[in-house]
Amino acid sequence: MKKRAGRKASILVTARDHVRGADTATVTLVGYGDFNEPECGETYRTVKKIQAKMGARLRYVFRSFPDSAAPGPAESSAEAGACAGAQGKFWEMHDALFENHGASDEVHLSRFATDVGLDLRQFRSEMRSHAHRAEVRAVRREGVRCGVTRVPAFFINSRRHRSAFGLATLLPAVQAAAGEE
């Protein structure tokens, strides 16, 4: 009997992704994360430092990966990000969610939506109807197909980064991918 190799989805950046940086950047860093996961909050700060250091050489893609596939605070935060994305304000909501870690109840999410300039009526309607739940779950399933089992998880130029996620390990890996020492 022939043994089948496990299939993993490729890490391609698509039009539905949330991207900071130019398509022409030397390095693409794809991060899967959960807005409510403490370790993801720490890596959020690390990625901000890497972005500042790398500048135009880095393209960063964030994909929501709620820690649980079941409805709950993690999925609500991911849906809030998707709602903001639908209004062209994903990154503003992304930052608000990470900077206010764990504040994922309806009151806080509505406040963040107001703070980042969303149409609050549309935001609340989409949150109540779970207009983006299927999208959030599809991104999570794609992450699982790519081998993501827990977050944070990073891919540098489509290669899985399996080391620690602190600045001391992630920055050198990104710099190496850019051909820097």
Q: How confident is the model at residue 70 (pLDDT cuts 50, 70, 90)?
A: low
Q: What is the pLDDT of residue 143?
A: 95
**pLDDT 10s digits, 16-37:** 899 999 999 999 999 999 999 9
At 66, give phi and psi (nearest 5°). -55, 135
Q: What percent of the chain has pLDDT over 70?
A: 92
One DSSP character per residue, 108-163 reads: HHHHHHHHTT--HHHHHHHHHHTTTHHHHHHHHHHHHHTT--SSSEEEETTEEE-S
Q: Where are the domains of the chain?
A: 18-168
**pLDDT 10s digits, 113-166:** 999 999 999 999 999 999 999 999 999 999 999 999 999 999 999 999 998 889
Q: What is the pLDDT of residue 49?
A: 97
Average pLDDT, the chain: 91
CATH class, domain 18-168, is: alpha beta
pTM over the 0.85 mark: yes
- From CA 119, how far away is CA 87, in angstroms rounded? 8
Q: What is the pLDDT of residue 106?
A: 92
Q: How confident is the model at residue 65 (pLDDT cuts 50, 70, 90)?
A: very high
